[in-house]
Amino acid sequence: MRNKPAGLALAFMLSTSLIVSAQAEEVVNIYSARHYDSDQLLYDAFAEETGITVNVIEDKDGSLIERIKAEGENSPGDIMFTADAGNLSDAAQHGIFQPVESEVLESRIPENLRDPEGLWFALTKRGRVIMYREADVDVTGLTRYEDLADPKWQGMICIRPSGNVYNQSLVSSLIVADGPEATAEWVQGVVANFAREPEGNDTAQIKAVAAGECDIAVANTYYLARLMRSDDPADVAVAESIGVIMPNQGDRGVHINVSGAGVLLHAPNRDNAVLFLEFLTSDEAQEIFAMANNEWPVVDGLDHAEVLDTLYGEFKEDDVSPAEFGRHRSEALTLMEANGWK
């Protein structure tokens, strides 16, 4: 076999070097307000499949939005990844997302779980449901979120503060369903039924019910599932003491919220960002979401953790778009604070 001319060999070597260098520089930069161990599994799987390096900066939603706005056109960020429709809507309203058109995203994610303008896409689902101490709390008559305002539950309810976005989204969904005036009355009734001043996270509310500090709580579905799957027998005992009400099965269904992400307005690695979002709708990624953090996939027909069936069974979901109730977040917080929800 003839040797290649020296010049051609050198050109080939330089070309190869540039390709390797370019590949080494392939990155996607993620600003994340999610703090779940499952997310690292997603980043690792994407990097292994594509060869694209995933860089992550974590912070609270508000801080990330302000950072992205301050960085402007010089922002290295490609994606903002966060939990709750309220946070996604806030980010969109601040103008930090750009619209994305993708046949993959549009075919995999149901229309009601996408921003109408393609600014963000839901990637995983969770419900916010009613929980109670099963052994000795009679919850007859408690079948809807609206029932939590009934005076019969006076001094019985534990729930997070009004500043919690999960509660703001629940109240936002009530504004959509019942209107602001009825929702204001509902907030007054719920506040009158508090067993204590709002404090702690959802796990704290569940544990307070189990300990008898209150009788009823409102919490996201994955918190109870996390306790049930814990290696700590004390956590499992707490979970086993809790009964669950899947609200509004006779009408609109359980309030469903999401985690999701959008491509940032000045993303320097836009193609990689879109590819990352598309990857998150793959069967592999959807099952990582579902199994590792006890959530439901947004893609139909995929498996989820068995504990969700044990705790919640089959139920009707409220199909109102998170984009719709997410737009009411500010109104919901104002209404909550004006009616005594601290």
- CB neighbours of residue 90 within 10 Å: 20
Does the pLDDT value for residue 19 go beyond 80? no
Average pLDDT over residues 142-165: 97
Q: What is the CATH number of the domain that holds 179?
A: 3.40.190.10
User: Based on the domain organization, do 84 and 30 belong to the same domain?
Assistant: yes
17 has a pLDDT exceeding 50: no
Q: What is the mean pLDDT of the chain?
A: 92
In a domain, 17, yes or no: no
- Same domain for 73 and 147, yes or no, is no
Per residue in 248-298, pLDDT (tens digit) is: 999 999 999 999 999 999 999 999 999 999 999 999 999 998 998 899 999
**For residue 86, is it within any domain?**
yes
What are the helix (H) ranges across the chain? Answer: 6-24, 37-50, 61-71, 85-93, 103-108, 165-178, 180-192, 202-211, 221-228, 233-240, 270-280, 283-293, 306-312, 322-326, 329-338
Assess whether 141 and 157 both reside in one domain: yes
Give yes or no for residue 53 having a pLDDT over 60: yes
Token pair 């330089």 is found at 14
Structure tokens at 164: 């919690």
Residue 7 has pLDDT above 90, yes or no: no
CA dist., res. 269 & res. 27, Å (int): 7
Reading the block at residue 301, the tokens are 């027909």
Domain enclosing residue 110, as ranges: 26-125+258-304
* 85, 156: one domain: no
User: What is the number of domains present in the chain?
Assistant: 2
Residues 74 and 198 in one domain: no
Clarify whether residues 103 and 130 are in a common domain: no
- Longest Cα separation, the chain: 93
On whether the CB atoms of residues 167 and 179 are closer than 8 A, the answer is no
In a domain, 6, yes or no: no
36 and 73 share a domain?
Answer: yes
Average pLDDT over every residue of 183-193? 98
Residues 194 and 322 in one domain: yes
CB atoms within 10 A of CB 200: 16
pLDDT at 13 exceeding the cut of 60: no
